Structures are given as C-alpha cells and as structure tokens.
Structure 1
C-alpha cells in the first residue's frame, strides 16, 4: 500500500537518493534535481506543506515538491521535480503524487500550479499550455511544455511571465 504524506526532516537523505536515482538515466534530466530540492529548502520559496513523499512499507519511494515562483506580484506554485525510485516506476506512484500535490494546493487556496513537462503526460492531470491562460515562461523556447493547472482560487487577471524560484536557474 502506498501512503502519501508530508516530507519530514528524517526523509531528506532518502529524498535526495531517490531523486538522484529517478533522474539518473532520464534524457531530459539536468542531473541536478536532487541538489535543486536541497537548495529550495533554504529559500522563502519553500513551503513544507507542498513537499510530499510516497511511502511503501515505511520507505520513501517517491517525492514531489511545489515551490513558490512569481507571476507578476503574486506567488504561484511551480511543481517539480517529481521523482519515483526506478524500482517503483510504472506502479502509479507518480500519478498518486500528482493528484496529492494538486489536491493539497487546491485545499490551500493556491490559484494554480505551473510546470515544465511533457504535455502528453501532464494533460491527464488537467494541465494545459500556460499560454492558454495568458501566462508565459521565462524562456520562450519552452513553448507548449510550459503548462498550468488552474485551481479553484484562480483569478483571470493573473497573467504575465512566470519566474521560478532562483535555485531553478542554477540546478533546474
């Protein structure tokens, strides 16, 4: 059985190891995803309630984090990285983490979640090109890979260019 819960300080080493393993052979990886999570923890973009761990038999096997970036003057969540231990990939853990991250953000009255990822995969969670809602990425070449999931607290006047938390520029 998989349990999705908030990350604790005791999870940090396991989260680092599983993010490293999850992205080791990924073609789209920067190689810095685990270091990015560590760097985000020390910023004002970090919100512990948006760092979630998937646990199987008492062991962390997946992790997702959403941190605050800015859309104009408004703090808006950016999701990522999300990683699952390779031994557990394909078992629905990534999907469970996505649903939990979206539900947690909506329950906390966040207006949206932005991410950079495969549109074919993230559409199943309600993500659409961010441009559909007037939100542009810092890097125009991201195009349709820059996506948004609007939530209950969304306000149509939230438009402009989204900037991820500063550690993304170094490790992302």
Structure 2
C-alpha cells in the first residue's frame, strides 16, 4: 500500500533511509526538508507491507535558474528497506509520486540517480532539455521527467536548497 506520510511515520521513515543507505545523511535530509518551505506533504509517500513502513519517496521544491527562476520538483531521496528491495516497491513509489505530481500540475521532476532505473519512468538526461546540474556528475545520471505542464521556458541550472548540502 502506498500513501502520504503522516506525523506517526517520522521515525519509521528515518529508519527506512538509515537502513537503505547505511548512514543517516538521507534520513536527516528528509527531516530538514520536512521542516522547510520546500516540503510538499502530498509528495512524501510511504510504502507499507503488513502495516509496516518499508519504503519512502520524497519530491520537494527546488529551483531552476535561467532566464527566469522557476520552481520545479526534485526527487530525492528514495529508499526501501534492504530486505524488501527488488520487489517493485521503489518503482511503485516513483510511479505514484509522478502521477501525483502530474495531477498537481507540476512541470518537471529532476533526479540524480541510476539511468537504467529512472529511464523506465520516462526520465531522460537533463542536458537534452537545457537543464544543467549544479555539480559535476555523469551526464546520463542527472535526469528530468517532463510532465504535462512542461514548457520550453524550463531551462537553466538546478539549485538545490541548503538542506541538500550535507548529503
């Protein structure tokens, strides 16, 4: 079952990220975003198995700075407890998150991740659309997914909020 996170999920979400990444950086990132104006409650989703939170995905506001400063979505982080990985839970979280972002009228989603995984959802290298990473990364790993509200004005360099500096 996939649903929006609620106040009772905070520690379970922290545990999911800590287990999945074997460190606390991503869990702390979620907490910092949750406490910021970048947080979008409808786009913080958990996956449950037998009433236990086993996965989490967060889409939050980031900026695209070019001719205009535009608000777009960043997908980060995505985590599934190791014993539940490779069972489609992460894919389901991405799919539901993208569908929700679409219904909210969002224009595009940015992700830094594994090209083979994210390409299945329509993510493509960001440079194909004139969108640059703020740091040096492999070109195929910094990707965007265009949503229905996308317009060509969405070009420039991605700027992540301060919460991302410690990841």
Report the TM range for the smaller structure's normalisation.
over 0.9
Count of equivalent residues: 164
Provide TM-score, normalisation by structure 2. 0.95
Q: Specify the alignment match of 1:45 in structure 2.
A: 38
Specify the SS of the correspondent of 1:140. coil
- Is structure 2 residue 122 aligned with structure 1 residue 100? no
What is the RMSD of the two structures over their aligned residues, measured on CA atoms? 1.1
Pick one of 12, 19, 22 that aligns with 2:20.
Answer: 22
Which 5+ residue runs of structure 1 have no aligned equivalent? Answer: 25-29
- Alpha-carbon deviation of 1:74? 1.1
Alpha carbons of 1:144 and 1:98: their partners in 2 closer, same or farther (altered >3 Å)? same
> Is the Cα contact below 8 Å between 2:17 and 2:24 reproduced in 1?
no
Q: 1:93-120 deviations in whole A, cap 9, x for unaligned?
A: 0000010111011110000000101111
Runs of 4 or more above 3 Å deviation: none
1:54 to 47, 59, 70: 47
1:35 aligns with 2:31: no
Cα shift at 1:31: 4.8
Counterpart residue number, 2:9 = 11
Are residue 125 (structure 1) and residue 113 (structure 2) matched?
no
**Alignment correspondent of 2:73:** 77
